[in-house]
Each structure stands twice: as C-alpha cells, then as structure tokens.
Amino acid sequence: MDVARLFEYRYWKAFLDVEIWVFLLTGLQITLTMAAAAIVLSLVFGTLLALARLSRVPLVHYPAVLYIEIIRALPVLLLIFFMFFGGARGFTLFGLRVSWEDPVVAAILALTVYTSAVNAEIVRAGILSIERGQVEAARALGLSYVQTMRLVVLPQALRRMVPPQVSQLITLIKDTSLAFVIGAHELLNRAKILYSGFETGPIQALFVAAVIYFAVNYALSLASRRLELPGIEDMRRDIAAEAGTIARTPARP
C-alpha cells in the first residue's frame, strides 16, 4: 500500500463540508443517547440486583447471582442480536403484545441488560467498601435495614462509585459501535456510509470517527479524575477488584 495516497487531498476534501460534520455529529448524538440511556437504566437495575445478591433470602439471592453470572459471560453482540430479532418478532407480557423494530431501542435494551450485571458487581463492591462500624452504628440508633441502606450506605457507596461509573460509561460509548450491525445510525455506521457513498476512503473516514471517539472518551476520563475524592484511587481499585474487572493488587508491606 502506498502510504502517500492516504494523505491525498481528494480523500480528505469531503471533511471540509459542514454537512458532512453535521452528518457525523448527528451519529455521535445517537451514540451518546444510547450510552446515557443504558448507563442510567443499568445503574437502577444494577443497584436492585446488587441488593438482591446481598440479601440473605435464598429466593432473592440465588436468582440475582444466576442472572449476573450468566449475563456477564455472554458477548454483548449476541445480546444485541437477541434483542433486535426478538423485539421484531414480539412477545406477550402480562397479556400485552410487546415489540419493537427500532435498532436503537434494541441496542439500548441489550446494553442495559449486560451493563446491569456489571454494575451490580460494582454497586455490591461499593456497598461492601463502607465500614462495617457505620452500619452497626446506624442499626444501634434504631434505623431499619432499608433506612440504613438508603440514608447511610448507598449515598456513600454511590459517591465512591462515580469514577467506576464514568469508566463504565466510556465502555458503553465504545460498545454502541456494535449496534451498526443491526442498522443503528450511530457514529461508526455513519462513518461507514461516508466511505461507501462519498469521495473518501475507509481509512480516512474511520480515522475521523476514531478521533471523535477519543475526544469524547478522553474528556470523560479527565472529568472522572476531577470528581475523585482524596484516597479514592485505592477505593476504586478495591471496588474494581471486588467486581472482577481487574486483578486485586497485593497489599503493600
């Protein structure tokens, strides 16, 4: 391959057109919408799953464990296909016919299902990172288990989980690119449309898309660092290790 051809003007002139950038940034808007919807929904369901997994009631604990372990072991792309084709065929829920054909909706649901399982472990690890003494003190003051979780444990745990959640959002933004296989018009799909129908090459179009992904994700990474509490780095490593996303670091002597 002649490297000099990659920098020829004819392959890059399309990006001087404002409409091309509007086309790409509209795809970025869809990408961010999918990621934002999935992270919010998955945090809600993940918190419920984490509380269920921490429950001592077997009928609550074991189904949560089964869901988390099975879903985390599945490829995200498989879930996207399942949601897309399953939603198109439809199903009956409580007597109501439920279906969807929008690939964006299918992708959001698939990402929510997968990320809920991941977030359940992050939330569980965050809850377990709260000092046991605080829980015992709250119970000694007469607070019930629900009140202790709502007023003492969860506010602190969620604050500590801000950096891991931003990291999860970055992962979601990258995972939305998988939705192009079912026809979602997110950023990667629009880059593909560009080099398929305009006077630009695939490497040039994909390079521009990569720069956009990097700019967004790097900005989020910087924002997460500014949100960190003093000493949060060790907490984040402990939470990530407990959640199984990284290996646990041996304690320093």
Per DSSP, the three-state class of 50 is helix
Between 171 and 9, the higher pLDDT residue: 171
**CB within 8 Å of 18: residues ≥ 6 apart:** none
Domain assignment present for residue 252? The answer is: no
User: Residue 190 domain-assigned?
Assistant: yes
Q: What is the pLDDT of residues 18-56, one digit of tens each?
A: 999 999 999 999 999 999 999 999 999 999 999 899 888
Burial of 198: CB neighbours in 10 Å, binned 0-12, 13-18, 19+ = middle
Q: Is residue 250 part of a domain?
A: no
Please give the average per-residue pLDDT across 67-87, as a whole number: 93
Classify residue 251: in a domain, yes or no. Answer: no
What is the domain count for the chain? 1
Q: What is the pTM of this model?
A: 0.81
Instruction: Tell whether 249 is covered by a domain.
Output: no
Domain for residue 253, yes or no? no
Strands (E), the chain: 91-93, 96-98
Percent of the chain past pLDDT 90, that is, above it, reads: 46
Residue 248 lies in a domain: no
Averaged confidence pLDDT in the chain: 83
User: Greater confidence, 96 or 78?
Assistant: 78
Other Cβ atoms less than 10 A from the Cβ of 104: the count is: 20
**What CATH number is attached to the domain comprising 87?**
1.10.3720.10
What tokens appear for 163 in the block? 């950096």
Residue 104: inside a domain, yes or no?
yes
| Region 192-201 average pLDDT | 80
Could you list the residue range(s) of the whole structural domain that residue 27 is in? 3-243
